[in-house]
Structure 1
């Protein structure tokens, strides 16, 4: 529409997210699609991420005619680009869900057929590079569910407590407990590679049943779950030297930050907010 192209155009990043796309030769798996009678003539053309799709054919909301238009990029890749400044950085984002992302070495090529049982997914990035991502379904949403459970228990006991008042209280209680032998596997929402996986609690001792002990163990479990998907040893082998922490759950939860720093043997830097819009602008600026 903007460039009056004869056929829609999309980036390798977005094409890969559709499926039935070979990232190595940047082409659709038309043979497979044709066998299912898919109308392959409707598939968009695919271009390199960060390239120019065309120019505006008319003025549009203050943008003049003839302005360059970048090819549509992947939201996730742009979010990472907005904060990943070094190849030796790992990006840890814990918001509603949680992701641990690293840039793979130059020349890396993912397996031709993705393994659905693998906890790590490879995403095409920029300039032929790939990102390795452990994307957990369990992050801040688990903490929110825990807070909701505490509020419900209080209500069942005849007390009315707002969830907004519970969250800071459980964090303060956990800060008073530096260690907990409790082991919480927090996967109440399962995982993409193990959808049937449920949460569990083990190593329960009579002396560690306080709200502080449970909250700290829960925070530690969230970080350990991510590290079980993309182990620290693997990060070290790939040359990771620093972790960039971001996300609302990390920002508001000091206990979670403490557990991140306890588990990762790298310096952890906070405040590196991820923003897809900023990343997209940076990509196009750097492609000049």
Structure 2
């Protein structure tokens, strides 16, 4: 810092650009603990309405606005002490942009309008379903250990190449939403992506850490749009001359990370030891753990993802691997249930808010005995799964006694956990010497008895991540702090 002050005597800013919410964390650079007395999150309300069935897109400007609202809430008094910035967010998605002349010289402020410095598309999110099973079968076969699915950036770009090639010709760069924000903050010369996020697009070799350009070129893929791959934690520094929300006002050099995956940053924020597994129940749901055995047979419903080489010392974007069962179904299933109830109620000309419905289902589910076996069996795969796009949800075991709000709500919750156990059988965790599961996500606090159900299904003790703020944004800040 200015005047020769030790750079580590400050705070690290972590940013998570999530599917529905932007979150920000401020951690002490020395203690690695949350440095503020409150958490910061802002709903984006970014979903684009009235799209064709199966399409999922978001307004980029609304995500940028949500981030600026949060930073303004934190204020320059705190942000003037920022010595580094870590960025992560929702993986798999893709957006396109083309810089205007003003991009290079703009002084970023909370009032900067993105449309003044670049042209950009909507974000095609990981929830997008436009790449049907038939379409995916027309794509070139990736390497044996690579996965393709609808909502993956490379598949979405292939779809645009076939159905709307003029869009690809118009724009000059592509990346995830967090790649775009990281490039904007650092004024990098081109789009840059981490191996975590490149891997989430498909057609990326995590071993050589490079795109499968030969396969892609042979199949008329727009390889010129592929972002450069950065194998280090730090992408660059905050734009010189920009006192963005009070940061950099003393013209110090503030490192900014290459954008990381929210899976990896959530994991590094949560685990205490390598024998922990992490079960996250948020918009979607996942259970993941560090791969300790090269001979471990990976279930077909699971992915292997790059992870930081170390959770202490200086992490890099290569080294160890995470095994993850990445379900598309999680809290979004309950959200669908709530919206369905609202629709039914509305057809009777009654008026209830979504918040009221949420409070009712939470109260009803928690008031019942979770040890009973009378709940209906619900397979909650409303959004299918990447390993089987033909999956549908189903309900079995309805009776006169269990067609009640609490029973059905519990059936959805239990079904999400059971679905994860189908994707990642419990014996895989035992074979990998996993000795406990760390639970993250607000739903475990809203439905505390669900924690015991995780133990029942997976046969392992569980612990709820109780420390406030240890989320993906915290993990982004932590990963950067370990690199300074």
Please classify the TM superposition score into its range, dividing by the shorter chain length.
0.7 to 0.9
Question: Is this contact kept in 2: 1:34–1:40, CA < 8 A?
Answer: yes
Equivalence for 1:250: 444
Question: Is this contact kept in 2: 1:82–1:282, CA < 8 A?
Answer: yes
Q: 2:312 aligned with 1:130, yes or no?
A: no
Q: Pick from 356, 368, 371: which aligns with 1:176?
A: 368
Q: 2:481 aligned with 1:285, yes or no?
A: yes
Any residues of structure 2 matched to 1:194-209 within 5 Å, and which? 194-209=388-403
Equivalence for 1:77: 264
Q: 2:302 aligned with 1:120, yes or no?
A: yes
CA distance in 2, matches of 1:242, 1:121: 21
CA distance in 1, matches of 2:257, 2:415: 41
Q: What is the CA distance between 1:233 and its match in structure 2?
A: 1.3
Any residues of structure 2 matched to 1:1-288 within 5 Å, and which? 9-38=192-221, 40=223, 43-50=226-233, 52-54=234-236, 58-61=240-243, 62-63=247-248, 64=251, 66-105=253-292, 118-127=300-309, 128-154=319-345, 156=347, 160-174=351-365, 175-178=367-370, 179-181=372-374, 182-270=376-464, 271=466, 274-288=470-484
Structure 1 regions of 5+ residues with no counterpart?
none
Cα 1:279/1:204, change in 2 over 3 Å:
same
CA distance in 1, matches of 2:356, 2:253: 54
Q: TM-score, normalised by structure 1?
A: 0.82
Other structure's SS at 1:215 match = helix
Cα 1:171/1:28, change in 2 over 3 Å:
closer
Q: What is the CA distance between 1:12 and its match in structure 2?
A: 1.9
Q: CA RMSD in A?
A: 3.2
Q: What is the CA distance between 1:214 and its match in structure 2?
A: 2.6
CA distance in 2, matches of 1:109, 1:232: 13
Question: Is this contact kept in 1: 2:362–2:446, CA < 8 A?
Answer: no
CA distance in 2, matches of 1:222, 1:134: 12
Deviates more, 1:73-82 or 1:162-171: 162-171
Other structure's SS at 1:82 match = helix
CA distance in 2, matches of 1:268, 1:87: 15
Question: Is this contact kept in 2: 1:180–1:208, CA < 8 A?
Answer: no
Structure 2 regions of 5+ residues with no counterpart?
1-182, 310-318
CA distance in 2, matches of 1:162, 1:72: 36
Q: Count matched residues.
A: 282
Cα 1:203/1:129, change in 2 over 3 Å:
same
Other structure's SS at 1:90 match = strand
Question: Is this contact kept in 2: 1:12–1:49, CA < 8 A?
Answer: no
Q: TM-score, normalised by structure 2?
A: 0.51
Q: What is the CA distance between 1:39 and its match in structure 2?
A: 6.1
Equivalence for 2:5: none
Other structure's SS at 2:383 match = coil
CA distance in 2, matches of 1:253, 1:53: 40
CA distance in 2, matches of 1:136, 1:256: 18
Q: Deviations over 1:148-182 (max 9, x none)?
A: 44444455567555443343444444332331343
Q: What is the CA distance between 1:74 and its match in structure 2?
A: 2.5
CA distance in 1, matches of 2:223, 2:360: 56
Question: Is this contact kept in 1: 2:380–2:412, CA < 8 A?
Answer: yes
CA distance in 2, matches of 1:262, 1:74: 30
CA distance in 2, matches of 1:261, 1:138: 20
Deviates more, 1:233-242 or 1:29-38: 29-38
Question: Is this contact kept in 2: 1:216–1:255, CA < 8 A?
Answer: no
